[in-house]
Amino acid sequence: MAGLVVTLAAVAVFSSWALWQIAGLRDLQTRIVDRSRRDSLQLLRIQNDLNQLGLVMRDMLAGDEPYPLEAWKPQFERMKLDLADALETERRLAPAERSPDRQHYLADSLAQFWSTLDQAFAAAAAGHDQQARQMIRVAAEAQQNSLVDTVARLLVQNNEVEQQVTARIQNIYAGVEKNVYVFVAAVLVMIALTSLYLIQSNRRLFDRLETLSSERRDLSRKLIAVQEEVLRSISRELHDEFGQILTAIGAMLTRAAKQNVPKSFQEDVAEIREVAQSTLERVRSLSLALHPSILDEGGLEQAIDWYIPVFQRQTGIAVDYRKTGRSPVIADAVAIHVYRVLQEALNNVAKHAHTDRAWVRVTFSPRELRVEVEDRGAGLPADGQARRGIGMVAMRERAELLRGSIEFTRPHEGGTLVRLTVPLMEAAQAAEEMAATGMRETATAGWPASSHGESS
């Protein structure tokens, strides 16, 4: 914000200064240069009229024309009117730098010239032609030459003023150009400083985000590892402790039924034995749901082979299951995450797809494992954004923990396609890290790992 404020202030100051300079240039252009040029045009007009007066006086004094001197007076009157108009216009356009004395001197000299001509024409009218000619030759021509010199000096002065103004304009342009360079350099420096600050700030922010992301990944890894260990422990407790207790109860009830007891008592014992057997089956089902023991004993492939028929029986959804390739040795810490992703994907089909058919494709290769779950149900929204839920988040977290990728797409045929890709070598390394984390967290949490052995 400080960089933005300084930059905007610099722009505002430079813009104001530039506008002030432009206003000054406009004033010089209008007030001095243009006015001086228009005044020079009027001076040229006056100079031209004076030259014509000189030519007329020369012709008049030459006596080549058979006209009396008085006959030239109307021509002089016309020139007098034109000179009066030109002199008045020139007086209004005279530059401010010109001294008023020069203007008065020009007007007075022209008035004396006309006064001399009036006296000459008056003498000619009285019959004194020779005297009139002498006045024109001696006084009027000298005054006309003086007027021409005065106008020429005024023209030179106007040219000097224009040159001075042109030099000032050039200096202003040079100053503007210099200040433009200074302004651009200052703006570039401010932009560079602001950009460097933003880069540094963003770098600190991204470092912080990376730290938080790393901490979040560690926390997710720890939570999932602890969760799986807890589920494994609960599953074993249910299977070993409660399963054995219910099995023992069933055996004792069977022996009791064989005793010599009334028939009604045997029926009650048989009913209790059926309840105990049903409870044992539910406990075993719950144990398998929490953590399938077949995953530890037979590996991922057998766990998938066992789970899909169970899913079909529980939900009534037909699953087209296809395997490609031979399953390599997959670590249990990797297998449990792949199994959980498959389990969550099929549960989503049962809950949200509203369909009676699904496809599961598992591709095994030495370097990569790919699992696809597809349905033709309601599918994802048309914009491709997946529904937000804890299940989707958990699948993404597990895929990230395996250093793999997971995609949620909408096929052209409709429905939803979930594709999990796991690089086995990288996943094995991540599994080792997760296993170590799980052992540390379990030890910290104080779970009785030896209770299973003791209960057995």
Structure confidence by residue, pLDDT tens digits, 302-332: 889 988 998 998 899 999 999 998 888 888 8
Higher pLDDT, 407 or 266: 407
Q: Which residues pair with 417 in a beta bridge?
A: 374, 409
Domain at 51, CATH number: 1.20.120
Percent with pLDDT over 90 in the chain: 13
Residue 134 resides in a domain: yes
What does the pLDDT read at residue 319? Answer: 93
Range 399-408 average pLDDT: 89
Show which of 194, 226, 250 is a domain's final residue: 194
Band the pLDDT of 451: cuts 50, 70, 90.
very low
Q: Confidence band (pLDDT; 50, 70, 90) for 387?
A: low
Which range marks the domain in which residue 327 is found?
Answer: 294-455
Domain-embedded: residue 272: no
For the beta sheet containing 318-324, the strands, ordered from the edge strand earlier in sequence to the opposite edge, are: 318-324, 357-364, 368-375, 416-423, 405-409
pLDDT digits over 156-187, tens only? 888 887 787 778 777 877 777 787 788 778 87
Distances (CA, A) of 363 to 14, 355, 407: 69, 24, 16
- Which of 62-66, 119-123, 219-223, 268-272 has the largest mean confidence? 119-123
Q: Where does residue 324 fall: left (phi above 0), alpha (psi -120 to 50 degrees), or beta otherwise?
A: beta
The last residue of one of the domains, among 154, 179, 194, is 194
Per-residue tokens: 7: 């930059």
Contacts of residue 352, defined as CB under 8 A and 6 or more positions apart, other chains included, come to 377, 378, 387
Same domain as 189, residue 79: yes
Is beta strand 357-364 parallel, antiparallel or unpaired with respect to 318-324?
A: parallel
Answer yes or no: is 283 within a domain: no
Q: Is the pLDDT of residue 441 over 70?
A: no
pLDDT level of residue 405 (50, 70, 90 thresholds): very high
Q: Taking 50 as the threshold, does the pLDDT of residue 48 lie above it?
A: yes
pLDDT tops 60 at residue 270: yes
Q: Which residue has the higher pLDDT, 180 or 29?
A: 180
Pairing of β 416-423 and β 368-375: antiparallel
What confidence tier does 359 reach under pLDDT thresholds 50, 70, 90? very high
Q: What is the mean pLDDT of residues 106-113?
A: 89
Q: Kind and range of the H or E element at 418?
A: strand 416-423
Reduced to 3 states, what is the DSSP secondary structure of residue 374? strand
pLDDT of residue 454: 38
Residue 383 domain-assigned? yes
Within 10 angstroms of residue 116's Cβ, the number of other Cβ atoms is 19
How many CB atoms sit inside 10 A of residue 88's CB? 12
Task: Specify if 353 maps to a domain.
Answer: yes
Q: Give the whole-angstrom CA distance, residue 374 versus residue 163.
A: 88
Averaged pLDDT for residues 239-262 = 75
The residue to which tokens 């243009």 are assigned: 34
- Give the DSSP H or E segment for 34: none
Helix, coil or strand: residue 371: strand
Residue 207 belongs to some domain of the structure: no
Of the candidates 143, 172, 194, which is a domain's last residue?
194
Is 422 in a helix, a strand, or coil?
A: strand
Residues with Cβ within 8 Å of 294's Cβ and at least 6 positions away in sequence, in order, are: 288, 302, 303, 306
Instruction: With beta carbons less than 8 A apart as the criterion, state whether 410 and 386 touch.
Output: no
> Both 447 and 325 in a single domain?
yes
**What's the average model confidence in pLDDT over 335-353?**
89
Instruction: Answer yes or no: is 170 within a domain.
Output: yes
- Domain membership of residue 429 (yes or no) is yes
Total tally of structural domains belonging to the chain: 2
455 pLDDT above the threshold of 70 = no
Q: What is the pLDDT of residues 69-88, one digit of tens each?
A: 788 888 888 988 998 998 88
Per-residue model confidence (pLDDT) at position 171: 80
Please compute Rg for the chain using Cα positions.
56
Strands (E), 325-415: 357-364, 368-375, 405-409
Average pLDDT, the chain: 81
Q: Phi/psi at 362 (nearest 5 deg)?
A: -120, 125
pTM, whole model, 2 decimals?
A: 0.51
Per DSSP, what are the bridge partners of residue 358? 319, 375
Q: Are residues 69 and 185 in the same domain?
A: yes
